[in-house]
Amino acid sequence: MLQSSGERVQLWTHRLYSPGAPPRLQGSWRGGDFHRGQIFFPSKVGDLRGVVLRVATFNHPPSVVYVQDDDHKVTARLGVDMQIVNTLAEALDFETEFTEVSHDELWGYELPNGTWVGLVGKVTNELVDIGACNVFLEIHRWQLVDYSVPYNFEHGCFVAPSPKPLMNWRSPALPFTWDTWTTIGMLLVVGGVLLRVVELLSINPEAQEFSGVSYAYLYMLGSLSGQPLSLAPHHQPMRVYVGLVWVTGLILATAYSANLVAFLSVTQMSRPVDSMQQLSDSGLRLGGHAFWATQFAASIDPIVRSFVDRLETDIALNQLFDRVEAGQFALIENEQYLEVTVGAKYTRGGRASIRIVPECLLTYSIGLAFQKNSPLKAYLDPVILHLVESGLVLRWRREVLNYFTSLYASARTSSGTQRNQRSRPLSLNQLQGVFYVLVLGCLTAFILFTLEMLLSPSRPTIQH
């Protein structure tokens, strides 16, 4: 501030964020020269002298974790971001006044009229001085707010439903792959034909049963399943051929029965979603904050860009997690938040009902948000760098992860894990495929019996 009196000009200054402090004289100009009492550009925020700075935040573990009493009143705020803010307050001597951000708005988005809401909206509209809650440093918001130096790093990841148990009626077919079953079918067809050929070309005739086509295939089926018919060939050519069939059937039946035990005793799961491509092909609806739409649109990966049209932003996070568990949605959020939420709320007996897709988006830096051109940035950044270099940020991160996980430890008792480790008898649900095979065989036999009754000539009446 300049103040002139005749040929004398005085330079006065004030201290930012200290509205009650009087201005100070920095120097004066008189007689064509400056008469300096102090430096012209002193530090104005090196010591804020207990001024109150407004901080916008919301509960978003592990960055911000609210400790609440029985009446759901917030008694403390934990997490890396809150530790950063509290340490800065001690170092620069200021108090904090927290402003809650609605969970419908979170980090914020732009309304059709150009107004921003949420955390970014509160900062850019100068309703608060600092925004702190896992704020990603990215170009779109940088046009509205300034960022501090980063103190943490994070991935944007998807969470999708965990693999579901396969329908147990398929269990009799699971021990072999489909190409193996095809080969066994061809072996049955060709083997029955060869059995008839060997019988026809043999000099010494075999038992009359071998001359029937249906018996030949029934004999081959019994041999391949390890249950050959009691009738044995009498002559050398047929014995050599049938012996080879028995050895082949023994190997196939042993392999099938051993593998069937594994498939019946261990629940078979569907294929998990492990990549962006699988997520795109899964048909799952995609939910998340509006922020991710800008990230998808800016991606060079065509698969990620295609998520822009699928993203639904009008559903609350807690509801989205339940819909992911129900197999309807996939959710995009930061990896640490997904890890603690899945581990604490959606894991029972060592098994999670939802899982994080291993393939994630690029790494994001995390920092505080300031008003555009805020003088706080130049003075808070060095302190934040000291905290990162000292390793305190990593320590705070481990502490809050342990604390948040312990909140839900009582819900995850060890009894469920112990029950899963004990041997359990096979249930009817696990063996339903076997009974389906029996029912299918009975229906086939009934159809063949009906056709035989309709197509066969009438039997002559026996007269006594």
What stretches of 246-294 adopt beta strand conformation (E)?
Answer: 285-287
Q: How far apart are CA 250 and CA 248, in angstroms?
A: 5
Please tell me the predicted confidence (pLDDT) of residue 149: 95
Token pair 């400790």: residue: 67
Tens digit of each residue's pLDDT (9 = 90 or more) over 357-372? 999 988 899 999 999 9
Cis (ω within 30 of 0) for the bond into 62? yes
Summary mean pLDDT of the chain: 81
- Helices 376-390 and 80-92 meet at what angle, rounded to 10? 120
Weakest mean pLDDT among 159-163, 261-265, 327-331, 421-425: 421-425
Answer left, alpha or beta for residue 288, where phi above 0 means left and psi between -120 and 50 means alpha.
Answer: left
Q: What is the pTM of this model?
A: 0.65
Q: Using 50, 70 and 90 to split pLDDT, how confident is the model at 284?
A: very high
When pLDDT is averaged across residues 28-36 and rounded to a whole number, the result is 64
Band of the pLDDT at 202, cuts 50, 70, 90? Answer: confident
DSSP one-letter string for 51-115:
EEEEEEE--BTTTBEEEE-TT--EEEEESHHHHHHHHHHHHHTEEEEEEEPPTTTTT--B-TTS-
- Has residue 47 got a pLDDT over 70? no
Summarised one tens digit per residue, pLDDT across range 257-274 is 888 877 777 766 778 899
At residue 421 the predicted structure's pLDDT band, cuts being 50, 70 and 90, is: very low
**Could you give the CA distance from residue 220 to residue 229 in angstroms, rounded to a whole number?**
9
Identify the helix (H) or strand (E) that includes residue 311: strand 311-312
Q: What class has domain 175-265?
A: mainly alpha
What is the residue extent of each domain of the chain?
Answer: 2-36, 175-265, 427-457
What is residue 398's three-state secondary structure? helix
175/272 Cα distance (integer angstroms): 20
Identify any residues that bridge with 160 across adjacent strands, giving them in sequence order.
355
Q: Which amino acid is at 288?
A: G
Report the pLDDT averaged over residues 2-30. 64
What's the confidence (pLDDT) of residue 111? 87
pLDDT on residue 416: 47
Query: Looking at residues 41-61, what average pLDDT do you find?
Result: 78
Q: How confident is the model at residue 403 (pLDDT cuts 50, 70, 90)?
A: confident
pLDDT given for residue 219 in this prediction: 79
Residue 98 buriedness (CB in 10 A; 0-12 / 13-18 / 19+) = middle
**Among all chains, which residue has been given the structure tokens 């604390």?**
403
At 86 the pLDDT is 93
Three-class DSSP category at 260: helix
Give the whole-angstrom CA distance, residue 403 versus residue 439. Answer: 55
